[in-house]
Amino acid sequence: MVSLNPVQIFNAGAEEEKAETARLSSFVGAIAIGDLVKSTLGPKGMDKILQSSGGIEVTNDGATILKSIGIDNPAAKILVDISKVQDDEVGDGTTSVVVLASELLRESESLISQKIHPQTIISGWRKATDEARRALQNFARDNGNNETKFREDLMNIARTTLSSKILTQYKDYFANLAVDAVLRLKGSGNLDAIHLIKKSGGGLQDSYLDEGFLLDKKIGVNQPKRIENAKILIANTPMDTDKVKVFGTKVKVDAVSKVAELELAEKEKMRDKVNKIIKHGCNVFINRQLIYNYPEQLFADAGVMAIEHADFEGVERLALVTGGEIASTFDSPDHVRLGKCNVIEEVMIGEDKLIKFSGVEMGEACTIVLRGATKQILDEAERSLHDALCVLTQTVKETKTVFGGGSSEMLMADAVSKLAAKIPGKEAVAMESYAKALRMLPTTIADNAGYDSAQLVSELRALHTAGKHTMGLK
pLDDT-derived band at 154, boundaries 50, 70, 90 = very high
Q: Is residue 188 part of a domain?
A: no
Domain end, chosen from 362, 389, 421, is at 362
Same domain? For 110 and 240 the reply is: no
Contact by Cβ (8 Å): 66, 80: yes
pLDDT of residue 437: 95
pLDDT-derived band at 247, boundaries 50, 70, 90 = low
Average pLDDT over residues 99-124: 92
In the chain, the number of structural domains is 2
Domain end, chosen from 310, 338, 362, is at 362
Q: What is the pLDDT of residues 400-440, one digit of tens each?
A: 888 888 899 999 999 999 999 999 889 999 999 999 999 99
Whether the pLDDT of residue 380 is over 60: the answer is yes
d(CA 284, CA 63): 40
End-to-end CA distance of the chain: 76
Average pLDDT over residues 33-42: 90
Average pLDDT over residues 233-240: 87
Q: Is residue 372 part of a domain?
A: no
pLDDT-derived band at 248, boundaries 50, 70, 90 = low
- Residue 161 pairs in a beta bridge with none
User: The CATH number of the domain where 30 resides is what?
Assistant: 1.10.560.10
Q: Is residue 385 part of a domain?
A: no
Whether the pLDDT of residue 463 is over 90: the answer is yes
Q: What is the pLDDT of residues 283-306, one digit of tens each?
A: 999 988 888 888 888 888 888 898
Q: How far is CA 291 from CA 122, 307, 316, in A?
A: 61, 8, 18
d(CA 259, CA 450): 76
Domain end, chosen from 306, 339, 362, is at 362
Known catalytic residues are: 61, 94-95, 387
Q: Which structural domain range is residue 358 located in?
A: 213-362
Same domain? For 225 and 357 the reply is: yes
Q: What is the pLDDT of residues 307-324, one digit of tens each?
A: 888 877 778 888 888 889
Same domain? For 244 and 341 the reply is: yes
Whether the pLDDT of residue 44 is over 60: the answer is yes
Contact by Cβ (8 Å): 377, 200: no
Q: What is the pLDDT of residues 326-379, one digit of tens each?
A: 898 888 888 889 999 999 998 888 788 888 898 888 878 888 999 998 888 899
Same domain? For 217 and 348 the reply is: yes
Average confidence score pLDDT of the chain: 87
pLDDT-derived band at 10, boundaries 50, 70, 90 = low
